[in-house]
Amino acid sequence: MKSLLSPLLLIAMCTTFSCHSSSTQEASQSNTDSLAAPITFWLGTYTSQPSEGFHLISFQQETSTFDSVLMESDINNPSFVISNKPGDLVFAVQEEGGEDGGSVCSFRFDQTANTLKKLSTSSTIGSGPCYITLSPNEKFIFAGNYGSGDLAVLPIQADGTLGDAIQTISHAGSSVNEDRQASPHVHSLVFHPNGKQLFVADLGTDKVYIYDFDPSREQPLSTSIPSHFTVKAGSGPRHLVFNQAGDKIYLVHEMTSEVGLYDYNLEEDKITHLDSYALTPKGFAGDKGAAEIKISDDGQFLYTSNRGDSNEIIVFKINPQTGTLDKIQAISSGGQTPRNFALSPDGNFLFVGNQNSDQILAYERNPQSGIIKKTNAKLAIHRPVYFFMLDK
């Protein structure tokens, strides 16, 4: 009996150790799997020296910390940065004026090595390009020139380079504010959810122009029906978003710090102003300057930023039946001039860039209530002005 005890004890000890080791490995694997993946995004900026540029930013959710993974400095004033759906091509404006005007640059992004290679630069045939968007088929870049009040269509070649502009459209007219609306100023270009119409907000003329998009045509844009809709004089249309159905338009009135709600009757091709929602309290006498606007992926909440003397993020609840808005929160942006912000892909965070405070911050977001709460996460970045979230 004694001779059998030691082998049996040895087997039991080995089995126990093996189970413990396996459990430890499984627990370790479980802990690794439970760690939330970092949230990454491209960040556009204004530059003032050669060492500055646009950034790839990573946000660690567990530690609430930002990190600049890479920075591309071979570019001037990359104030608007986007990428294609696969994420391997990146496009950025060079928001410049002068004799040569502005341009768009394309880059190849190696997602494994986190490196960028500049591929091309193409003129926007105008000054001060401040907004670019990809066509639904990702074969064209549409660039809006704020300074010269026009837009250009740039083809994207198979190798990722940009061709010369194949179409330009110039706006004409003015509005009531002589300082800011003496001429057209294209401020955004947004595709309707149907992918067949491009809406172009022009701050200088108080109009939103509408163009039909047909990628098979030599010049893919043509005037739609209706050709435009007009906002209240002096409002200054800036950025806009659609609801999921595409029958409601939410438009930032920059100069009056409002969100305008417009009904889009798709059967009758008719756009009607329903209401405007002030971002400032009644009697507010300070400077105004509404900027960005976003809708949560579930369509329940709308977010907008207000600059000027307010420097706030404002949250609205969207009525699912009527599309009307109910303001539920106004919270400090934590700095000066919140020109842009973005919601994380999972909806749990909102990131804001305070242009004149040279910083980006993170807010926790409650997906059920829509309410946001400022965290301690902060990163010093020179003149941050645009976020483009990456889905990973």
For the chain (392 residues), the mean pLDDT of every run of 10, in chain order, is: 40 43 45 74 96 97 96 98 98 94 98 96 98 98 98 98 98 98 98 98 98 98 98 98 98 98 96 98 96 98 98 98 98 98 98 98 98 98 98 73
Query: Which of 386, 351, 391, 344 is CA-nearest to residue 81?
Result: 386
Query: Which of 228, 231, 186, 189 is CA-nearest to residue 209?
Result: 228
pLDDT digits over 222-246, tens only? 999 999 999 999 999 999 999 999 9
Query: β-pairing, 312-318 with 301-306?
Result: antiparallel
pLDDT at 32: 45
Query: Which of 73, 175, 79, 182 is CA-nearest to residue 124?
Result: 79
pLDDT digits over 187-202, tens only? 999 999 999 999 999 9
pLDDT at 31: 46
Contact at 8 Å (CB) between 88 and 111? Answer: yes
pLDDT at 12: 44
Per the DSSP assignment, residues forming a β-bridge with 279 are: none
**How many CA within 13 A on the CB side of residue 371?**
4
Q: Which amino acid is at 87?
A: G
What is the DSSP secondary-structure string of 157-199? PTTS-B---SEEEE-----S-TTT-SS--EEEEEE-TTSSEEE
Give the tokens for residue 349.
């965070």
Q: What is the DSSP letter of 127?
A: S
Contact at 8 Å (CB) between 174 and 207? Answer: no
pLDDT at 391: 85
CA 169/CA 188 separation, integer angstroms: 14
* Percent of the chain predicted with pLDDT > 90: 89
Residue 288 CB neighbours (<10 A): 21
pLDDT at 299: 98
CA 162/CA 103 separation, integer angstroms: 10
Per the DSSP assignment, residues forming a β-bridge with 120 are: 106
pLDDT at 36: 85
pLDDT at 392: 61
